[in-house]
Structure 1
Amino acid sequence: MCEEVTKGTDIAKHVAAGEYGKESALGYRNAKKVAFRDRVEMFTTLQLVGDLTGKRAVDVACGTGWLTKALKRKANASYVMGTDLSGEMIALAKTDDPTIDYIIEDSRSASPGDFDLVVSNWLLVNARNRAELQSMCKGLAVKAKSGGKLVTLVTNPDIYGYRGDPHFMKKYGFEFVFPESVAEGNSILIRAFTPEGKFALEVENYYFSKETYVKELEAAGFYDVTLHNAQLSPLPSGEDDSEFWNDLFSCPAFIIFTATKE
């Protein structure tokens, strides 16, 4: 498993299994302001989401509503809901955009929905064991109507075995404490920073292989489960800054699965 929380780390900003308090929720919101989030995470997600005109979408494990708002404003969804386990996250989301419906809900016991799109970034990485992963996958499936689309982002399983410089991604806003070994359920610590380089929060994610994610999504009622890699959005100016991002794409921080509900 990973080393213990580093001495000096603000324990109020340490998050395990997706359980956010007030301080960690604020840290999460601040960490979403680094360029990586818009240029890579948001861009890749919305490319796969596509045009939602006339469609209903739900963002499961929506956090402070960063992606939820984009489903409405950028993807043009006719209706958007955000759900999260953390009441602190939902409170911040409602403050940022009171026009979107946000509810406190545990994805492991989610109520049924009838959504054209279910999107969920960084949910499945909170599953500490196979049973929790199965419950979360079922929670995503129950929200989608038959034929509905799933877009879900997870930490790249390949990064758990990385043994290079743990600070190599700090310029993008985060760094890692790698587990001693790669085994199902082992945790990796991800430290996130603000655009100014200040510590924002530290999150524990848990390892599952790509094959396990596919298997459990299929078992939950999805088919045509497809893996997608991260993409970089071009700068509006047309300037080529791809060299700056080379380290990120040498070992991408995340992968995304798309699928269709049976």
Structure 2
Amino acid sequence: MHQPSDTTSTHPAPRAAFTAADAYTLRTALDALGGVRDLDTLDVACGHGGTAALLANGGARRTVGVDSCPERLRRAEAAASGATPGAVRVEYVLADAAAMPQLGPFDVATAVYLFSHAPDREALHAMFRGIRANLRPGGRLLTLVRNPGGFPHVDWSPYGMRILDRLPDGDAPLLKAQFLTEPPQHFEYREWAHADFAEAAVDAGFTTVGWQPSRTPPADRARDEAYWSAYRAWPVSSLMTCTA
């Protein structure tokens, strides 16, 4: 089972609005925890390394990025080679999130849309177990997960993505979608319920599970408050927080 590329690794240009909201949500949540300075951090399904760089640049003592795609890791390493001199070096590891090796322990783990791509319930639970096994007691997992129930009621195309179809398939429906780049990039993900994610987290041994709504960047001339208010009414994602 391979972790597919997603918004944090494709970096649509200009940056899609939902991607900007995701980045703002995650950064705000990390700041609320007091940041990551002098902590050991892990980013799972790291893609081209955007979130791993955020952790490293935040002063983490150690940052490890894990992804199952060699090409994405190659690009992440190439981007990291141009980082500011003296910045924390990110260690990149080729591994499947459903079969995570022991790399820690870590204080903080992040995962952007990883769990929405679990192909079945067994893989979903394995992903949570692997991350939990790499966290110290009291360590935190911050993960952005896709919200269910949007299709066909919500049009996310003004924010950079579009869902094309929803197909019953196995343990969770399969959604076919596009990133609205030029040309559009097709991708698929599973419509897991938030209760499925919570069940997997508890099964993995996390002691607390919480949810935070998507946050949006400050309004500007390109994206005013009315634009962001409409997005917050039914956002693409939510932030799930778990304590080991």
Q: Distance in 2 between matches of 1:189 and 1:174?
A: 11
Aligned: 1:119 with 2:110: yes
Aligned: 1:173 with 2:163: no
Q: In structure 2, do the counterparts of structure 1 residues 35 and 207 end up closer, same or farther at CA, with 3 Å as the change threshold?
A: closer
Deviates more, 1:146-155 or 1:239-248: 239-248
Aligned: 1:220 with 2:204: yes
Q: Secondary structure at the match of 1:163?
A: coil
Q: In the alignment, which of 230, 233, 239 is matched to residue 256 of structure 1?
A: 239
Equivalent runs, 1:12-161 vs 2, <5 Å: 18-19=3-4, 28-31=9-12, 33-36=14-17, 39-50=20-31, 51-73=35-57, 75-98=58-81, 99-112=89-102, 113-159=104-150
Return the structure number with greater relative CO, CA threshold 8 A, min gap 6.
Answer: 1
Q: Distance in 2 between matches of 1:251 and 1:182?
A: 24
Cα RMSD after superposing both structures: 2.6
Aligned: 1:185 with 2:172: yes
Scaled by the length of structure 2, what TM-score is found?
A: 0.86
Q: Distance in 1 between matches of 2:7 and 2:243?
A: 34
**Residue pair 1:17, 1:204 contacting (<8 A) in 2 also:** no
Report the equivalent of 2:86.
Answer: none
Deviates more, 1:126-135 or 1:240-249: 240-249
Q: Distance in 2 between matches of 1:182 and 1:127?
A: 12
Among all aligned residue pairs of Structure 1 and Structure 2, give the percentage whose two residues are the same amino acid. 20
**Which 4+ stretches in 1 moved above 3 angstroms?**
25-28, 180-184, 237-240
Structure 1 gaps of 5+ residues are 1-15
Q: How many residue pairs end up in the alignment?
A: 233
Q: Secondary structure at the match of 2:218?
A: coil
Q: Distance in 2 between matches of 1:163 and 1:176?
A: 8
Structure 2 gaps of 5+ residues are 82-88
Scaled by the length of structure 1, what TM-score is found?
A: 0.80
